[in-house]
Amino acid sequence: MPKAFVFMNIDAGAENEILKSLRDVPEVKESYFVYGVYDVVAKIETDSMDRLKEVITWKVRRLDKIRSTLTTIVSEGK
């Protein structure tokens, strides 16, 4: 099952709005407001790599108030 973590920089004060929007996307399995270089991180899981790319491109990165993203695709896990 393809997985990715998407790290996001968002507009100041938009944390709750972004987290709510992410939780409305079924493929987003976890999402958190974090401190550091990024403001929000989301774990995304899908049934195929094509679907993973589609969700990240069209459902996550296009959310209003997201300034930039960094996506890391999981290659292996326990």
* Angstrom distance (rounded) from CA 70 to CA 9: 9
* Angstrom distance (rounded) from CA 77 to CA 60: 23
Nearest Cα neighbor of 22 from 38, 3, 41 is: 41
Domains of the chain: 3-73 (3.30.70.920)
What are the mean pLDDT values of the chain's consecutive 10-residue runs (78 residues total)? 96 95 97 96 97 96 96 86
* Angstrom distance (rounded) from CA 7 to CA 66: 10
SS3 59: helix
pLDDT recorded at residue 77: 66
Residue ranges of E strands in 1-78: 3-10, 28-33, 40-45, 66-73
pLDDT recorded at residue 76: 78
